[in-house]
Amino acid sequence: MSSYVYLMNNLEKLKLQKVKEHIDSYIELVARGEKTIVEALNELLRLEIEYQEEKAISACVKVANFPFFKSLEEFDFNFQPTINKAVIRDLMTLRFLDKKENILFLGNPGVGKTHLAVSIGIEASKKRNSTYFITCHDLLSNLKKAQLENRLEVRLKHYAKYKLLIIDEIGYLPIMEDESNIFFQLINKRYEKNSTIITTNKEFSKWSEIFGDVVIANAILDRLLHHSTVIKITGRSYRLKDKIDERNEKK
Ligand SMILES: Nc1ncnc2c1ncn2[C@@H]1O[C@H](COP(=O)(O)OP(=O)(O)OP(=O)(O)O)[C@@H](O)[C@H]1O
Ligand SMILES: [Mg+2]
């Protein structure tokens, strides 16, 4: 085996894909005296490191289970003037994660709660914070199934561990009494340890209706709100934006 083939095989074995891709041109640059061997190695390794970091980031984003990929740049703040842009920008710095604070988005359908939660979530996972997105309904189904299989504690620990857990759509579907209990346990486990983002269409004063119990609803809210930012959005549904415009045009 020639020493070149041996080198290529070893790069393959070490999974240094970018080094392998670019090594030919660097061999030539070194041969022509345009780069020193140290410069060539440094540049090749930098290409490899950048590539591997990008791959790790996209793996983080992939496992987070986002329903769609939308960034803050795609959010039209002019359409939703009740949202304080500076507050959202501050949340995007992820300071809230270090402080173990929560974010609660409150508003009617289509005002952008999930969009904003996802944008922040993507940012968090890009910075390699373990992040997971799940609807409240799926979360509770999953935890209830675990309870039936006698592994609730393990599952609760699993969800409690995420640096950022996004629980979407609290309030759209009714929550049974045993589920309310399980939900409380999860929020209690995450309290002051990790950050949670909540989206809901129901005012906090109505949460006792969702959870079917004033005491449990208050206990959950107490923990969620203690260290938190509440973003209340009162505006039109973006989903109906064009429909409403069309209606006005017809008038
Ligand atoms: N201000 C906005 N600028 C750009 N796109 C927006 C804006 N608000 C909402 N959207 C888009 O409209 C759609 C609905 O928004 P989103 O899913 O965030 O609503 P929501 O508040 O979570 O509603 P629901 O309570 O029904 O789940 C999404 O495709 C989202 O990207
Ligand atoms: Mg939503």
**40-87 confidence digits (pLDDT tens):** 999 999 999 999 989 988 888 899 999 999 999 999 999 999 999 999
200 lines ligand 1 (CB under 6 A): no
Whole-number pLDDT of residue 68: 94
Whether residue 208 sits in one domain with residue 123 = yes
Please state the atom number of ligand 1 nearest to the C-alpha of residue 201.
25
What are the structure tokens assigned to 224, written together?
Answer: 């969620």
Q: For residues 130-145, give the mean pLDDT.
A: 97
**Cβ 139 vs Cβ 168: under 8 Å:** no
Atom of ligand 1 nearest to the CA of 117: 18
Domain co-membership, 84 together with 121: yes
Q: Are residues 35 and 80 in the same domain?
A: no
Q: Are residues 48 and 85 located together in one domain of the fold?
A: no
Two structure tokens written together for 121? 């979530």
Both 36 and 120 in one domain: the answer is no
CA of 143 to the centre of ligand 2 (A): 21
Mutate to test the pocket of ligand 1, among 115, 135, 198, 239 (most ligand atoms within 8 A of CB): 115
| DSSP percent split of the chain into helix, strand, coil, nearest 5 | 60, 10, 25
Same domain, 47 and 77: no
Q: Report yes or no on 251 lying in a domain.
A: no
Same domain, 84 and 29: no
**Which stretches of the chain are assigned E, i.e. beta strand?**
102-107, 131-135, 164-170, 195-200, 228-233
What the block records as the tokens of 52 is 């591997």
CATH number of the domain residue 197 falls in: 3.40.50.300
Residue 79 CB–ligand 1 contact under 6 Å: yes
Q: Specify if 52 maps to a domain.
A: yes
3, pLDDT greater than 80: yes
Domain span holding position 215: 72-233
Count of domains forming the chain: 2
The verdict on 184 and 208 lying in the same domain is yes
Instruction: Tell me if 109 CB under 6 Å of ligand 1.
Output: yes
155 with 225, same domain? yes
Averaged pLDDT, 23-37: 97
pLDDT digits (tens, 9 = 90+) for 213-249: 999 999 999 999 999 999 999 999 999 987 765 555 5
Helices (H), 93-240: 95-98, 113-126, 136-148, 152-161, 177-190, 207-211, 214-226
Same domain, 47 and 148: no
d(CA 118, CA 92): 11
Asked if residue 245 belongs to a domain, the reply is: no
